[in-house]
Structure 1
């Protein structure tokens, strides 16, 4: 009864030198071996009993024939194939913490509600794609219960927060209705999938806000007033679209009514001018005929007096 294949081969060679040709070996790869290995407790069997059973079974086995064990390779090389996870840099760690709502040391509560011992361990797991940002319970509760979110959701204007990668970080109820997606889906999408992002990219690059710019959203068939404000602490922009489609249509209708009124007035003026010109023409002809008649009458009277 020996432990290890190497010791087995060495003993075999020693026995062979001593003239012993046939022998039985019980080889245990692990400590305790099959006689009393790690799983043998469930059998409730003693080591002595197991050893006796094994020896009885070996005694009844026929002698092996034609087995040559000298050329059998008994060595095995194992390679280290462990997966080494990447760790985020300081900049990447800060970006992930900001996305989790952790901007200062005081914000890092290390409460463990997410299943990780610290907020930075959770951020590392997010970086390694082993966790989601929304798994931070304090941040989720703060987001859900904040008054600003309530105001944001009941506002009739579209409101969105877009980060520097053009990814939608937050959006209110009106925005979700206009985009036709749920909140979960929206937070996995990019703004350029829905709208022209030219103005948003400009504000992110220049950090100069755009306020009250009238814009036509062709994809949604809306006329809106666009405002884009840069948020330095989030490295993102707050985008609002105030729907003025109804007001613009009302203005257009009012303008068209005014133009129709002007055209009608112009037609009346033109018609009056034509009538005036016709009357003037008639008056002019009558005046000319009267002048000729009176001139003839005058001449006839003068000529009669001379005669």
Structure 2
């Protein structure tokens, strides 16, 4: 029994980063993803692994089912959430940014689009489009026929394609836009900020009712600029921004008098910022001290 448990542990640990990535992309919450992994582990050690043909696929199946259960319960929490809900930002290693597919799949912009999908649609999209899992395996994971999964995948893909950026933006282009944004804010350069923002830019802040943030997204470059400069005028203390890598993409770690205030992530199209996402809720800033390993394999 002990030998079987040790073997199960080794297998689970070998695939842990993959399972966390699956759960995180389905949930957008690091804490909930960790809970899902714990629940998946408890189910995995009860399985007779010797009779499991593909242990990796079986573990992904367990994790998917637990994520779907958690996603449905999270819906009630999000409905009661104060203001917009943004995914947890994760400090990531350079290798995540180097994997273009992985960096795009966990980017704040795409994660926000995934929030608009129904739970089953999100599960199917993540498993099929991100992890390239077969329709048969997905069907086994979510309890539907392969034909039904194919239809759900098509519908989810159309929904996401209509809302995601038209093309993948390079890290250097994102970094350049972020640098221009930071310089304009720090120097109070009104025109410089307008130049780097797209006319239809959207600012989304997540304070969770704990930290002050706009209760609704703010649309339009002029409104966003007024929001920024008006807010900066009211800040008591010293704000600083440091470039970092969050969810595989360039972002700004913002500190107030040396303490973490939040993470600013951006979405860039045609060299201009179309989305600004500022996470201030302290409960969502727990993954910024050490890197979270993510993988598609």
TM above 0.5, yes or no, is no
TM range (shorter): under 0.3
Bigger-Rg structure (1/2) = 1
Q: TM-score, normalised by structure 2?
A: 0.20
Q: TM-score, normalised by structure 1?
A: 0.19
Higher relative contact order (CA 8 A, sep 6+): 2
